[in-house]
Amino acid sequence: MRRGEASTDRIASVRVSAATLPLKGAISDAKVLTGRQKPLRDVAFLFAEIRTESGLEGVGFSYSKRKGGAGQFAHAREVAPDLIGEDPSDIQRIWTKLVWAGASVGRSGLATQAIAAFDIALWDLKAKRAGLPLAKLLGAHRDSVACYNTSGGFLSSSIEEVIENAHATAASGIGGVKIKVGQPDTRLDLRRVAAVKEAIGDRIDLMVDANQQWNRSTAVRMGRAFEEFDLTWIEEPLDAYDAEGHADLARELATPIATGEMLTSVAEHAELIRRRGADFIQPDAPRVGGITPFLKIMALGEAAHLRMAPHYVMELHLHLAAAYEHDPWVEHFDWLEPLFNERLETEGGRMLVPARPGIGVSLSDQARAWTTAAETFGA
């Protein structure tokens, strides 16, 4: 059989666009309070829209907080022409082709985050061709996933505001709330967690996130102090690349450790998993290069019997979490809702997998209005 005889369709056009999503107000976590970053005011998005000769369409996206969005768009523009004429079902081969097209600037980080938008669009298209939600195409273990809210727990909000947000979260059908810690004065963290725990009791789960701002000794001390609050996990207590330190903490503390959102490749996640550096792995599909590498991380996590709580982008990660074996969580952020015409539903502490084919989202008029640059390749 000659190459391509089994193909049923070809990619006819690719549109890449950049958009800036403004937040309602500036937000801060521990990285801001320690002087490492400035408050977050907006999120840069990269969109890929792929159309085939038969008229099928897929949409994918990547993102960057603070810096990097322009770089992602520039790299996507360079490699987009390489998609024209390809069979859209050959997703793994296309991913490899695009990675090697820009291999001199690396096979992780910004380069693969640009490729992620194309990869996600191809998986969206493939699921639409099958007439299935992405979770069902991958093979779902469940039709809903436990979900927790983060957007109301930032350090830029007062304790009173965080408590009010936690009550609203519990009333909305979301199953947990995560609050930020990692302040230079650790006593403030303890007061914050104690106040929220007293307010919500056992109605919903409680998680904390230090955003990599503790050293090893502080992480041990704070982890032990937090044990009385029965936390679901402590997130990013150490630098994201300190797999050894996270492994020591996971052995030392009774509270589970969650980390992985800042890792940008399968190899980095493989090292974290090999060292048993997390009880919950937290991969982010746009950050690791799309769904194709994310599935490899899922396989490693399943084999190690770890739980998973993907970072951010619930619109996509809900499908991937539904296809994960070991009882996952998904992160609820309403920030992205203006970008899409569709909405996700929560009920009884869980997020429901939508019945819509593909990822189940389409770009809104508002997303088009926020577009800062765009280019189309092909017919």
Residues 83-100 pLDDT 10s: 999 999 999 999 999 999
Candidates 128, 180, 296, 319; catalytic one: 180
200 Cβ neighbours under 8 A, 6+ residues apart: 166, 167, 170, 177, 206
Check: CB of residue 304 under 8 Å from CB of residue 331. no
Closest CA to 84 of 190, 9, 178, 175: 9
**C-beta atoms surrounding 176 within 10 Å:** 25
Specify burial of residue 171 (Cβ count, 10 A radius: 0-12, 13-18, 19+).
exposed
Q: Point out the residues of the chain with pLDDT beneath 70.
A: 1-4
Q: What is the largest CA-CA distance in the chain?
A: 69
- So what's the pLDDT on residue 1? 36
How many residues in the chain?
379
Model-level pTM? 0.95
Residue 282 backbone dihedrals phi, psi, to 5 degrees: -130, 55
Instruction: Determine the Cα–Cα distance for residues 280 and 252; give it in Å rounded to an integer.
Output: 15
Annotated catalytic residue 332: no
Residue 242: helix, strand or coil by DSSP?
A: coil
- So what's the pLDDT on residue 97? 97
365 Cβ neighbours under 8 A, 6+ residues apart: none
In the block, tokens 């097209």 appear at 101
Rounded (5°) CA angle 343-309-348: 50
- So what's the pLDDT on residue 102? 86
Closest CA to 21 of 375, 377, 363, 331: 363
- So what's the pLDDT on residue 4? 61
- So what's the pLDDT on residue 379? 78
Annotated catalytic residue 311: yes
Candidates 311, 317, 319, 332; catalytic one: 311
